[in-house]
Structure 1
Amino acid sequence: MRSKYLSAFAAAACLGTILAGSAAAGEVLDKIKASGKIVYCSDLSVPPFIYLDPKTVQATGFDADIGIAVAKAMGLEAQYKNIGFDGLIPALQAGQCDAILSALFDKPARREVVDFVDYANVGNAVIVKADSPLSIARLVDLSGKRVAVERGSVNEQEVVEASDELVKQGKPKISVVSLPKATDAIQQLLTGLVDAFYGGTATEADYNKQNPGALKLASPQTSTFYTGIATIKKDADVHEALDAAFKKTQADGSYDAVVKKWSFESMAMKP
């Protein structure tokens, strides 16, 4: 996407070097090498992680640059297929892409169906408008509030669980407003349709860069998760190739360059 396609021969040669000493490349990996590109399923609506640049209408963001660096280390081109967040794993299973790269949290339940190459450790918090008096210590403190979340995300699951706990205690539930995109959730917040948005602290910081003083954190960072590039378990060869390529980006400095570009030092993975 941001570099010229390499020939299938060059891609195969480079990737063969990365995979030295690992399991023999399988059929799926052979197809990727022959195509000269790796296709990622991504929800292109989560700045600063991955989103569509309004000027170029291409994927940009921290995740997008990670995907490009990893692909380059494999001798391949990175391409992104825009898929709604709750459809990412089904799309991968249906063969619409080779891997998922979309700020996807590495959770035990997901590890039952996909393998992860972790590349960051991301935190979440309750986000509100700058003039909101809301201040909470735990998600259950959102009792009686309307909270926007991205549909299919771990954030949605956490708020639903907090609401269920409140109901068990006989307290007002949290009205969970699940939306297709994180940007939709922010718009709901800004227009006053919800009291808060539960999402990544990096998302809040990035939005305030573009719109100074619009949002603020109403809670401490309530949870942190590793995020990773996901592949189907049966495609172990692809997972091994991505893992080797990511380690190469750490060794050659290209990973650090992406981290610094997006000011993600606090979320970086150590070699």
Structure 2
Amino acid sequence: MPPSVARFLWRAFAVTALLGLGSARAEAPDLPLGLYPSYPPLDMRDTTTGDLEGFDVDLATALSQRMGMTPRMVETGFAQLIPSLLTGRIRMFFNGMVDTPLRRESVSFVDYLQSGFQFVTLSGDAHAPSSLPELCGRRVAASRVTSVPAELLAWSDRNCAAKKRPPVLLFATENSADARLQLREGRVVAALQDSLTLPWTVEISGHTLQALGEPFHLSPLGIGLPKGDADFTCRVSKAFSALQQDGTYLALIHKWHLPESAALPTQPVPKACTDHAP
């Protein structure tokens, strides 16, 4: 073979190899995922290694891999999750955010859990309320960057004001952990938090905390996605449905000791997604 022909074939092979390598990399693109590690056991840090861990971390990893993408966790404050999605800093987020019509004006959701609200008080405290009506007229903590304060005020309207009792006094905190800190320091008599994590909270506290009343107002929690990107939303929906069907989803529910009521039943993939690639 003449040297000129050999050089041509080698260059052609090298170009083809590089293009093939680029295609292989394109099959597993980077997927930046927003998480706020202050929501155990969904989102938190390992106290020994400092690594992100929790139900959301495991589900996000499994979901990304199912979609053929490489997950990259991006620590993002809860209040910055939606802005980070809108600016493209992240492509999706997990943090147990309640799927509401107002939030759907900015982002799309694929629901993945459900949770309600439940009060928590100190165990063994003679001054702690022993029944729900005793909350009326007293200070109760709730995380200001979530929908919990609105739920607390709505509960107060139904159970206090409507029954001619003084309203609950809202004590707004930075997050749920801060709400429980205010409870321990005696600034409030109770805290309102999501029922999804309350069993874990009570257990990790050594049962120095206790639930008061039953969960109320169960609502869906959503994976946040860019609004208007129907193809990507369908890919996420299909991948999540597959994880439900193959048992991965329930296995993670059990691993992180979430209540069975938190699990969503397997739903058919939306008809609008039928023509989209998996």
Corresponding pairs, count: 242
- Kindly provide the amino acid, as one letter, of the partner of residue 235 in structure 1: D
Tell whether the 8 Å contact from 1:69 to 1:255 is kept in structure 2 after alignment. no
- Kindly provide the amino acid, as one letter, of the partner of residue 231 in structure 2: D
Tell whether the 8 Å contact from 2:200 to 2:257 is kept in structure 1 after alignment. no
1:44 maps to 2:37: yes
Q: What residue number does 1:84 align with?
A: 77
Q: What residue number does 1:198 align with?
A: 192
Q: What residue number does 2:213 align with?
A: 219
Larger radius of gyration: 2
Q: 1:137 to 1:146 in 2, by over 3 A?
A: closer
Q: What residue number does 1:30 align with?
A: none
Following TM superposition, by how much is the alpha carbon of 1:113 offset from its aligned partner in structure 2, in angstroms? 1.9
Q: What residue number does 2:106 align with?
A: 113
Q: What residue number does 2:18 align with?
A: none
Q: What residue number does 1:28 align with?
A: none
- Kindly provide the amino acid, as one letter, of the partner of residue 159 in structure 1: L
Following TM superposition, by how much is the alpha carbon of 1:162 offset from its aligned partner in structure 2, in angstroms? 4.1
Query: Residues 184-221 of structure 1, C-alpha deviation per residue, up to 9 Å, x if partnerless?
Result: 11111112121111112233221232232111111111
Q: 1:68 to 1:88 in 2, by over 3 A?
A: same
Tell whether the 8 Å contact from 1:37 to 1:71 is kept in structure 2 after alignment. no
Tell whether the 8 Å contact from 2:40 to 2:54 is kept in structure 1 after alignment. yes
Q: Give % identity.
A: 29
Distance 1:204 1:227 in 2: 16
Following TM superposition, by how much is the alpha carbon of 1:67 offset from its aligned partner in structure 2, in angstroms? 0.8
Tell whether the 8 Å contact from 1:42 to 1:102 is kept in structure 2 after alignment. yes
- Kindly provide the amino acid, as one letter, of the partner of residue 228 in structure 2: K
Q: What residue number does 2:10 align with?
A: none
What is the TM-score when the length of structure 1 is the normalising length? 0.79
1:229 maps to 2:223: yes
1:131 maps to 2:124: yes
Tell me, what secondary structure is at the counterpart of 2:113?
strand
Tell me, what secondary structure is at the counterpart of 1:104?
strand
Distance 2:245 2:161 in 1: 50
Distance 1:137 1:51 in 2: 30
Tell whether the 8 Å contact from 2:196 to 2:262 is kept in structure 1 after alignment. no
Following TM superposition, by how much is the alpha carbon of 1:171 offset from its aligned partner in structure 2, in angstroms? 5.0
Where in structure 1 are there 5+ consecutive unaligned residues? 1-6, 14-32
Tell whether the 8 Å contact from 2:148 to 2:192 is kept in structure 1 after alignment. yes
Q: 1:136 to 1:109 in 2, by over 3 A?
A: farther
Q: 1:79 to 1:177 in 2, by over 3 A?
A: farther
Q: What residue number does 1:98 align with?
A: 91
Q: What residue number does 2:8 align with?
A: none
Tell whether the 8 Å contact from 2:114 to 2:196 is kept in structure 1 after alignment. no
Following TM superposition, by how much is the alpha carbon of 1:73 offset from its aligned partner in structure 2, in angstroms? 0.6
Tell whether the 8 Å contact from 2:122 to 2:184 is kept in structure 1 after alignment. yes
Q: Tell which has more relative contact order, 1 or 2 (C-alpha 8 A, sep 6+).
A: 1
Tell whether the 8 Å contact from 2:86 to 2:226 is kept in structure 1 after alignment. yes
Tell whether the 8 Å contact from 1:12 to 1:75 is kept in structure 2 after alignment. no
Distance 1:228 1:136 in 2: 32
Tell whether the 8 Å contact from 1:86 to 1:151 is kept in structure 2 after alignment. no
Following TM superposition, by how much is the alpha carbon of 1:134 offset from its aligned partner in structure 2, in angstroms? 1.3
236, 242, 252: which is aligned to 1:242? Answer: 236
Q: 1:250 to 1:167 in 2, by over 3 A?
A: closer
Distance 2:152 2:22 in 1: 46
260, 263, 268: which is aligned to 2:263? Answer: 268
Tell whether the 8 Å contact from 2:41 to 2:54 is kept in structure 1 after alignment. yes
- Kindly provide the amino acid, as one letter, of the partner of residue 80 in structure 1: M
Following TM superposition, by how much is the alpha carbon of 1:254 offset from its aligned partner in structure 2, in angstroms? 1.7
Following TM superposition, by how much is the alpha carbon of 1:167 offset from its aligned partner in structure 2, in angstroms? 6.5
32, 42, 54: which is aligned to 2:47? Answer: 54
Q: What residue number does 2:138 align with?
A: 145
Where in structure 2 are there 5+ consecutive unaligned residues? 1-20, 267-278
